[in-house]
């Protein structure tokens, strides 16, 4: 028996990186997982891995900054797997490189806010009513250590959007708790996703490593294990918090 047997989980942005690690771990613990992304081939690859490992998964694509797309994802998931009881609003990222605020265009500001804060809002808005009606549900939002530990390398709009997600999480936990729905947030620091492994030079990785009290950089699995705890019965009296997956970096 798995910890998540009988549950259906949607992990947005799960075609690679942190989201893919969460989707795979949830599936190994018994959940039927809706794997989401924008690129069909990447989504299908993760779904194939889950099914090859004996799990159950469904591939969906769509833009989570579009309420219409998210509604379509919910309809497909419910039709093929059943109601979503676990939601990980993981999709996001930094579409704009760092730079002085005065050089940031309004368009790029809105891109950063939409890709992170607005996407989280629209995703939760679509799935929360059903969870409340059923009296059960777990939601995880995704912030970043940049929200409370901004650096010259963390774009300001991205950090602001992630800080907004943390505040939104607390508000949601207050509203949804009486209906039996828990809402928590994860805030990773530098995670060695496939993309970061390729993009970050080795000397920079070493410099980043030394900046963590736990002397290594994070992995997608580190974040996935924390996510599993927050949606399992082991955390049944935990809601409204942000968990730093940061090797202690936010302390210094």
pLDDT along the chain (252 residues), means of 10: 94 97 98 97 98 98 98 98 98 87 91 97 98 98 89 79 97 98 96 84 87 91 98 98 92 63
Total number of domains constituting the chain: 1
DSSP state of 117: I
1 domain residue, yes or no: no
158 is catalytic: yes
220 domain residue, yes or no: yes
148 domain residue, yes or no: yes
CATH code: domain of residue 112 = 3.40.50.720
Which pLDDT does position 193 carry in this prediction?
86
For tokens 């069909």, the residue is: 40
Distance from C-alpha of 120 to C-alpha of 154, rounded to nearest angstrom: 20
Candidate list 33, 150, 158, 222, residue with the active-site label: 158
54 domain residue, yes or no: yes
Rounded to the nearest angstrom, the gap between the alpha carbon of residue 58 and the centroid of all alpha carbons in its chain is 18
Which pLDDT does position 212 carry in this prediction?
87
Which pLDDT does position 249 carry in this prediction?
85
3 domain residue, yes or no: no
Domain range enclosing 221: 8-251
93 domain residue, yes or no: yes
179 domain residue, yes or no: yes
Q: How far is CA 34 from CA 72, 78, 197, in A?
A: 13, 10, 26
2 domain residue, yes or no: no
Which pLDDT does position 101 carry in this prediction?
84
DSSP state of 47: H
Question: Strand order of the sheet with strand 56-61?
Answer: 56-61, 32-37, 8-11, 86-89, 137-142, 181-188, 242-245
Question: pTM of the prediction?
Answer: 0.95
Cα angle value 28/32/36 (rounded, 5°): 100
The tokens describing 122, both together, are: 């629209």
Burial class (CB in 10 A: 0-12, 13-18, 19+), 104: middle
For tokens 């390398």, the residue is: 153
């Amino acid at each position: 028996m798995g910890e998540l047997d009988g549950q259906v989980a949607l992990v947005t942005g799960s075609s690679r990186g942190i989201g893919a690690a969460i989707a795979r771990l949830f599936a190994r613990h018994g959940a039927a997982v809706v794997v989401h992304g924008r690129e069909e081939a990447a989504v299908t690859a993760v779904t194939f891995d889950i099914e090859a490992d004996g799990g159950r998964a469904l591939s969906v694509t769509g833009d989570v900054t579009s309420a219409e797309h998210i509604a379509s994802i919910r309809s497909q998931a419910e039709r093929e797997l059943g109601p979503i009881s676990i939601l990980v609003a993981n999709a996001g990222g930094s579409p704009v490189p760092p730079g002085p605020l005065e050089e940031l265009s309004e368009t790029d500001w809105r891109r950063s806010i939409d890709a992170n804060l607005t996407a989280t809002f629209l995703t939760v808005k679509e799935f929360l009513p059903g969870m409340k009606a059923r009296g059960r549900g777990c939601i995880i939002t995704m912030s970043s250590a940049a929200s409370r530990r901004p650096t010259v390398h963390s774009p300001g709009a991205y950090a602001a959007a992630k800080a907004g997600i943390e505040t939104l999480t607390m508000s949601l936990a207050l509203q949804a708790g009486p209906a039996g729905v828990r809402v928590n947030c994860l805030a990773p620091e530098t995670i060695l996703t496939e993309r970061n492994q390729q993009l970050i030079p080795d000397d920079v990785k070493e410099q980043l490593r030394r900046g963590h009290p736990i002397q290594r950089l994070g992995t997608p699995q580190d974040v996935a294990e924390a996510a599993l705890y927050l949606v399992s019965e082991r955390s049944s009296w935990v809601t409204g918090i942000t968990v730093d997956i940061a090797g202690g970096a936010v302390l210094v």
